[in-house]
Structure 1
């Protein structure tokens, strides 16, 4: 199955075949963003299912929360790292509270060398975005053990709406903002991974055989 891929984990450019020739080359790790009490969200294309551009509210951003993705394969809940990645967690909350992820699906599963399920694109093509971008955070010393929730991107400081769950300990360069930790539903991710993926041209990297349709993302106080 061939798809245009707007976001691609950099490691895949060397470890797994790219989904299309439009994928950017691997980039070096960038320095961690300086902690800040303000965040800038910049207009960007594409703007799929556009819900507006968030206006950062430091007081709201500091409030811890949990996000529960109610999917066709079961519920997945993660704790947002609001203290370490306030710009990212504020954006995710904004999109979830505006139902941006509702009726979308996780379009990419990797099962060789790196182990992630990628979601957050309402077009389901791998090339969708929310109409804005924002800088990386929380990269210093970043690792990606099972249960990590991190941003997918198209290079440094190109975060949008697409993110990934790590379903098995994975080695990646610290280029992807970690912004959450799964608290319940790792078994759901493992079940999805066990179902495999459908791309015969690029084994280990394709659409999950068990469809992961996101019905709703609920935000609750932690």
Structure 2
């Protein structure tokens, strides 16, 4: 039987090993959303692991299933975003869309919470410091005041708000029992402190627009500023990142604008389609 020269044997062995390693390369399932606009397509990888509620909402609005009534067949779903516009574009900052009214004032008819920080520790007993006081006010009192146009019908809350305005500080809340704020508001859940920041508002990220904490709906924006917008970290949920078509987003940001940074000629979202794809994930090189 003929024998291969040692050099050829090594080449065959190396090729076999490479083929084996290539066949075992790690693959990852990702959700990709294609935002088809009147100026081109933008493809976004949706970050469903770090912002599951936000991604589920976006996908449900994109295909219309999010707004179906109980028992209503899927066949009657009407994609929410189809035909809406990018109503606010600011060069070197962002492009924003998803408002059914086309002016930044509309939404899907509901709001939901942010996914910006991991959960920390439960807040119980006396409020220890100003930072915690501000957080409690933001999470519990602000939604209540927004609901009542700034005039709380609850005496305890109205009195507290008056003290804060007079002091121009959250100092009056320091030392108050958490229950003395939560109980009058009817809050029976468990409020936890902020943990770690989940993601920063980076260049090319897809983020939720809002009117304050926990007021997410349908509006979103794509960051076009080099270096991102770190002053928005923790204030807006990051739920995707552009993987293709960033040139389209940059072109949209530079269209001619009128009042409130609205494009003079509509930039239309024709459709948003979502698909599950498998992609190869590069393993970090070992030293």
TM > 0.5 = yes
Give the deviation of 1:191 after TM superposition: 1.1
Inter-partner Cα distance in structure 2 for 1:155 and 1:194: 27
Give the deviation of 1:210 after TM superposition: 5.1
Alignment of 1:85-100 (within 5 A): 85-98=51-64, 99-100=79-80
Q: Which of 188, 199, 211 is 1:154 aligned to? A: 211
Alignment of 1:28-67 (within 5 A): 64-67=30-33
Inter-partner Cα distance in structure 2 for 1:141 and 1:160: 20
Inter-partner Cα distance in structure 1 for 2:198 and 2:58: 22
State the match for 1:173 in structure 2: 232
Q: Does 1:188 align with 2:188?
A: no
Inter-partner Cα distance in structure 2 for 1:96 and 1:148: 18
State the match for 1:211 in structure 2: 266
Relative to total residues, which structure has the larger helix share, 1 or 2?
Answer: 2
Q: TM-score, normalised by structure 2?
A: 0.51
Inter-partner Cα distance in structure 2 for 1:196 and 1:162: 21
- The 3-state SS of whatever aligns with 2:253 is helix
Q: TM-score, normalised by structure 1?
A: 0.65
- Structure with higher Rg: it is 2
Inter-partner Cα distance in structure 1 for 2:198 and 2:59: 25
Q: Deviations over 1:18-64 (max 9, x none)?
A: xxxxxxxxxxxxxxxxxxxxxxxxxxxxxxxxxxxxxxxxxxxxx74
Give the deviation of 1:72 after TM superposition: 0.3
Inter-partner Cα distance in structure 2 for 1:145 and 1:216: 24
- The 3-state SS of whatever aligns with 1:104 is coil
Q: Which of 75, 92, 96 is 1:118 aligned to? A: 96
* Contact residue 201 and residue 232 of structure 2 kept, 8 A: no
Q: Deviations over 1:167-193 (max 9, x none)?
A: 123323320000000011100011112
Q: Which sections of structure 2, spanning at least 5 residues, go unmatched?
A: 1-28, 65-78, 118-196, 278-287
User: Aligned-pair RMSD on alpha carbons?
Assistant: 1.6
- The 3-state SS of whatever aligns with 1:118 is strand
Q: Does 1:101 align with 2:81?
A: yes
Q: Which sections of structure 1, spanning at least 5 residues, go unmatched?
A: 1-62, 200-204
State the match for 1:53 in structure 2: none
Give the deviation of 1:81 after TM superposition: 0.2
Inter-partner Cα distance in structure 1 for 2:232 and 2:95: 17
- The 3-state SS of whatever aligns with 2:243 is strand
* Contact residue 151 and residue 162 of structure 1 kept, 8 A: yes
